[in-house]
Amino acid sequence: MSPYPVERPRRLRSTPALRRLVAETSIEPRHLVLPMFVKEGAAEPVPIRSMPGVVQHTRESLRKAAAEAVGAGVGGLMLFAVPEESSKDPLGRAGTDPDGILQVALRDVVAEVGDATVVMSDLCLDEYTSHGHCGVLGPDGTVDNDASLARYAEMGLVQAAAGSAVLGLSGMMDGQVGAVRSALDLAGRYDVVLLAYASKYASSFYGPFREAVESSLVGDRRTYQVDPSNGIEALREVELDVAEGADIVMVKPALSYLDVVRQVRDAVTVPVAAYQVSGEYAMVEAAAANGWLDRERAIVETVTSIRRAGADLVFTYWATELAQILR
């Protein structure tokens, strides 16, 4: 017996060229989707305090940022609207107004980027409701699932008409994929892609996002979002959404749920997305601002980990910058 180790994994780590040759996971700009916020009536981009580097866009700055993302090769753009407080009501009517801020922004961005990237929109009521919930409320004050589905179906048609190619169903109502899919089918819009936030957890990591969209929510979303302790239930949600016609399924947040990303990737044959959410972004930015970690390495490492876990697409607020780093 040789006194030396026969297997020496370090050999393959000894030079940058060798490491590059045997790397199992890579990120390409096309895998990245940039979430963007557009604020109704804004004259200047408004910085989001808890997300340094991210802003609520004006219509004009949104177009510019969209063009910049396309220049970097980003695979998709996901638009979120921030309506004026006075546009909010209990039913979230601004969300189905053909001239509501999201629809206006969709037309702007589609005109700017054409088919150079995939333009997507968030389909949820929370940005538009005065109570901040993702659905409408019943007489008892709880979220009324089926009444919300009717609102989602209408939103889907309005967003599709405004040019959205992919609808991001993030409300976590039961049957939402089926409801929007059948409304689109009845209208002959077989072309619209449904991206189901199939397994969206009731997470503390959405904190900064609530500032970003000026959320009116009091309380929490635990009656509709998945309990962080559950993994099998995530698979159930994913199965239902695929059966209802989802084209892509998402796990959200990403970093605390990498086990779920892997299980979902192994369970379905549609593309899997993961959303590196606002709190994940904020943690890295805050630590980097303190000099506690290397910001650029942390960005690459976190997104690489999400890809390694099995995500085909990664939603990240660093999409444009990361795409530029990768080039």
Q: Between the CA of residue 123 and those of 116, 183, 314, 326, what are the distances in Å?
A: 22, 14, 18, 30
Query: What secondary structure does DSSP assign to 132-161, as a single string?
Result: --SS-B-TTSSB-HHHHHHHHHHHHHHHHH
CB of 122 to ligand PBG, least distance (A): 6
Residue 122 in contact with ligand PBG, rule: CB under 6 A: yes
Binding residue for ligand PBG (CB under 6 A) from 249, 251, 277, 306?
277
* 190 contacts 215 by C-beta, under 8 angstroms: no
Residue 124 in contact with ligand PBG, rule: CB under 6 A: yes
**206-239: b or e for each residue (b if 16 or more CB lie within 10 Å)?**
bebbeebbbbbeeeebeebbbebeeeeebbebbe
Give how many residues touch ligand PBG by CB under 6 A.
10
User: Which residues in 3-83 belong to E strands, given as ranges?
Assistant: 32-39, 46-47, 55-57, 76-82
Residue 152 in contact with ligand PBG, rule: CB under 6 A: no
What's the CA gap between 217 and 248, in Å, rounded?
28
Nearer to ligand PBG, 16 or 221 (CB): 221
- Site track 164-183 with ligand PBG (rule: CB under 6 A), x = hit: ------x-------------
Nearer to ligand PBG, 108 or 122 (CB): 122
Binding residue for ligand PBG (CB under 6 A) from 206, 224, 257, 318?
206
What's the CA gap between 250 and 173, in Å, rounded?
15
CB of 277 to ligand PBG, least distance (A): 4
Does 64 participate in catalysis according to the annotation? no
- For residue 267, count other CB atoms closer than 10 A to its CB: 14
Residue 237 in contact with ligand PBG, rule: CB under 6 A: no
Identity of the amino acid at 285? E
CB of 60 to ligand PBG, least distance (A): 24
Q: Please choose, from the candidates 133, 129, 151, the residue with its C-alpha nearest in 3D space to the C-alpha of residue 142.
A: 133
Residue 78 in contact with ligand PBG, rule: CB under 6 A: no
Binding residue for ligand PBG (CB under 6 A) from 31, 133, 221, 307?
221
Catalytic residue annotation: 200, 252
Q: Which residues bind ligand PBG (CB under 6 A)?
A: 122, 124, 126, 134, 170, 206, 209, 221, 277-278
